[in-house]
With several copies, the nearest count.
Chain A
Amino acid sequence: MNPVYIAGAGMTRFGRSEWSLMQLASVASLAALHHANLGDIPVDGVVVANMGAARMNRQTALGSALVDQLALYPAAAESVENGPASGASAFKVGVQAIASGMADVVLITGVERMRVVNGLEGTDFVSSLSHPEAEYIYGVTLPALAGMFARLFMDKFGVERKHLAMVAIKNHANAAKNPYAHIQQTVTMEGILTLPEAAVNNPPIAEPLHMFDCCPVSDGGASLVLVSETVAAKIGGPKVRVAGIGQATDTHTVHEREDPTDLKSVRIAAGIAFDRAGLTPQDVDVAELHDAFTILEIAESEASGFFPRGEGHKALERGETQLDGTLPINPSGGLKAKGHPVGATGVAQLVELTWQLRGECDARQVKDAKVAYACNFGGFGNNVVASVLQREA
C-alpha cells in the first residue's frame, strides 16, 4: 500500500445554515484546498460523504455536482454513504484510491443539510438505517437505541447520570473554544442535573438519556485533501500521514448481538487500525470519538482500547479525557457540542485531528500531539471506521 497523506483540512461552522447543500460543500472544500496549497497540481478525485440529500434536499449525484461547483472536471467523483460513518467511509475510499496508485490527489467532502426538514422527518430519516422489519416498524430511532444501550450499560458498570453529564460539560467547554462548533455555550452540573430547574432545562429524550446527552441536529460541511507521497513531497508543509484505517461491521439489529453492551465493531475496527499503523492505543495523544450520545464516548473510549472495559467513566471522573488530561477526547467539542451534520461528521473528526497534529488549534490545542485517533460510529454500532493519523517530523 502506497503511503497517503492529509495535505489540507477545512470546514464550515456547524449549525443551522441558510446555505444550500452545495454551498456548504463548496465552502468546506475550498477551505481544505487552500489549506493544502496545491498550486497547479490537479485534483484527480472527489468523494462526497452524505446520508440524506436524496430525501431531505431532493438532490442526488453530489460528487458530480461538487466537481461542477469547483470546476474540477474531468476529476472522478462519487458519493459514499455509510449512515453516520459516511464521512470516514468516504475517507477510506479516498485513501484506497491513492494507495492503489490510481489517484494522486483526492478531495473528501462530507456534507449534510438537515435543518431544512422538521425534527420528526429528520429523526425518521436517520432511523431508516435501522432494520426495516425488526426495528424500524416499531418506531425505533437512534435515540431509542442509545437509550436502551445506555440503560443496560449503566446498570452493568455502575455508570450514573452524573458521568454522562461530565461528558457533556467537558465537550461543551471544548466547543466553546472552537469557532466551528454549533454550540459554543458551556454547561454546568447544576444546570443540567442537580438544580430543580435542570428537569426543565434538560428534558428526557430517550430515558435514561436527556437532551444534554444528545447531539444537536446540524447543517455543515467538512473537507480533507488527500495526497500521495510524491505530491506531499512536492507541496511541502507539515506531514500528516494516514497511519492505519480499520473498519468492522456487526449485526444489523442491536438485539442479535451476543452482548448488546459490547461495541464489538469498535473493538475490531480499532484493532485493525492500530495493527496497520504499527501503534497501540497507548501511543495516542488525542482522540475524537463519536459521541452522538454521551454514553457512547464512554463506551467507545473502552472499546477503542484506551481504558479497560467498564472503566471509561472512571477515567472521565479522574479528568484524564479533559483537554489537559493524559488523553484528551473530543477537543473539538465532539458531536455533542460541535454538532452532527451526519455525512460531514466523520470527515470533521479528521479535520480536527489534522489541525491538532499541525498545531493549529489555538485555545483547544492539545500539546505536542503526534498520534491521533478517530472513531466514526455508523448504524448503532453495526459499521464502525477507526482511523489513526500520525504527524511525521
Chain B
Amino acid sequence: MSDNVYGMKCNSCGTVSYPKHAVCPNCRNETFIDVVIGGEGKVLTFTDVYALAIEYETRYLRLAIVELDDGIRVTGQLLDGEPKLGMRVKTVLGTVRQSGETAIQGLQFVSA
C-alpha cells in the first residue's frame, strides 16, 4: 500500500465517499473498491489554528476543507501563503503529523 489517501466507491450505486464507511451512505450496500482521493479543486473554507493538538511544534497550522473537481470534499493542510475562499488548489502528499517515530502521511494543498 502506498501513501495514497483512499476513499471508497460503492459496488452497487457507484457513490464515492471519503472517508470510508462500512456501509454506503447512499444505498446501504456493503462492498466497495478503493479509489485514490486527490486532484484539483477549490478552497471551501480554511483557518489558521493556534490551539494545536500535541505533536505539533509550529506556532499555528493552516487547515482547509477543499472541494475537489470530482465533487469529493477533503480536510487537510493548506501550504499556500495567502489563502482565499474559492482559490484553486491541488493536492499533494506529505507528512501531516509526527506520532512518536511515525511520520503520518496525508493530504496537503498547494496553489494550482
A-B pairs under 8 A by CB, number: 135
Q: B49 contacts which chain A residues (CB < 8 A)?
A: 139, 141, 143-144, 147, 205-207
Q: Mark A1-26, 1 if CB is under 8 A from B, else 0.
A: 00000000000000000000011001
Asked if A265 is at the interface of the complex by the 8 Å CB criterion, the answer is: no
Q: A149 contacts which chain B residues (CB < 8 A)?
A: 45
Q: A362 contacts which chain B residues (CB < 8 A)?
A: none
Asked if B89 is at the interface of the complex by the 8 Å CB criterion, the answer is: no
Q: Chain A's interface: helix, strand, loop or mixed, by majority? A: helix
Q: Mark A182-208, 1 if CB is under 8 A from B, else 0.
A: 000000000000000000000111111
Asked if A139 and B97 sit within 8 Å, CB to CB, the answer is: yes
- How far is B19's CA from A252's CA once the two chains are assembled, in angstroms? 9
Q: Name A253's contact: one of B28, B52, B64, B75 (CB within 8 Å).
A: B75
Asked if A204 and B22 sit within 8 Å, CB to CB, the answer is: no
Using A144-B47, A151-B47 as known contacts, say yes or no to A127 and B53 having CB atoms under 8 A apart.
Answer: yes
Q: B25 contacts which chain A residues (CB < 8 A)?
A: 71, 251, 256
**In angstroms, how far is the closest chain B Cβ from the Cβ of A151?**
5
Q: Name B23's contact: one of A71, A121, A207, A260 (CB within 8 Å).
A: A71
**In angstroms, how far is the closest chain A Cβ from the Cβ of B78?**
10
Asked if A102 is at the interface of the complex by the 8 Å CB criterion, the answer is: no
Count B-side interface residues using an 8 Å CB cutoff.
39
Q: Name A121's contact: one of B44, B54, B104 (CB within 8 Å).
A: B54
Asked if B50 and A120 sit within 8 Å, CB to CB, the answer is: no
Asked if A205 and B21 sit within 8 Å, CB to CB, the answer is: no
Q: Name A71's contact: one of B19, B28, B106 (CB within 8 Å).
A: B28
**In angstroms, how far is the closest chain A Cβ from the Cβ of B59?**
11
Residue among A23, A134, A149, A152 with the highest chain B CB neighbour number at 10 A: A134
- How far is B49's CA from A70's CA once the two chains are assembled, in angstroms? 31
Using A30-B22, A137-B97, A260-B44 as known contacts, say yes or no to A143 and B77 having CB atoms under 8 A apart.
Answer: no
Q: Name B50's contact: one of A121, A155, A206 (CB within 8 Å).
A: A206
Asked if A135 is at the interface of the complex by the 8 Å CB criterion, the answer is: yes
Q: A206 contacts which chain B residues (CB < 8 A)?
A: 47-51
Using A139-B77, A141-B51 as known contacts, say yes or no to A133 and B21 having CB atoms under 8 A apart.
Answer: no
Q: A155 contacts which chain B residues (CB < 8 A)?
A: 85
- How far is B53's CA from A255's CA once the two chains are assembled, in angstroms? 20
Asked if B79 is at the interface of the complex by the 8 Å CB criterion, the answer is: no
**In angstroms, how far is the closest chain A Cβ from the Cβ of B20?**
8
- How far is B22's CA from A29's CA once the two chains are assembled, in angstroms? 10
- How far is B90's CA from A96's CA once the two chains are assembled, in angstroms? 50
Asked if B92 is at the interface of the complex by the 8 Å CB criterion, the answer is: no
- How far is B101's CA from A252's CA once the two chains are assembled, in angstroms? 28
Asked if B45 and A151 sit within 8 Å, CB to CB, the answer is: yes
Q: Mark A68-80, 1 if CB is under 8 A from B, else 0.
A: 1111000000000
Asked if B30 is at the interface of the complex by the 8 Å CB criterion, the answer is: yes
Asked if B65 and A138 sit within 8 Å, CB to CB, the answer is: no
- How far is B61's CA from A151's CA once the two chains are assembled, in angstroms? 16
Asked if A120 and B21 sit within 8 Å, CB to CB, the answer is: no
Q: B106 contacts which chain A residues (CB < 8 A)?
A: 137-138
Q: B97 contacts which chain A residues (CB < 8 A)?
A: 137-139
Q: A205 contacts which chain B residues (CB < 8 A)?
A: 49-51
| Cβ < 8 Å to A, chain B residues 37-84 | 44-56, 61, 63-65, 73-77
Asked if B96 is at the interface of the complex by the 8 Å CB criterion, the answer is: yes
Instruction: State the B residues within 8 Å of A (CB).
Output: 17-25, 28, 30, 44-56, 61, 63-65, 73-77, 85, 96-97, 104, 106-107
Given contacts A138-B77, A260-B65, 19 further A-B contacts (CB under 8 A): A26-B22, A69-B22, A70-B21, A70-B23, A71-B21, A71-B23, A124-B55, A135-B75, A137-B104, A144-B47, A151-B85, A203-B50, A205-B50, A206-B49, A207-B48, A208-B47, A253-B19, A254-B75, A255-B65
Instruction: State the A residues within 8 Å of B (CB).
Output: 22-23, 26-27, 29-30, 68-71, 119-121, 123-124, 127, 131, 133-144, 147-152, 155, 203-209, 214, 251-256, 260
Instruction: List 5 A-B pairs, minimum CB-CB distance, nearest first.
Output: A147-B47, A26-B22, A134-B19, A124-B53, A144-B49
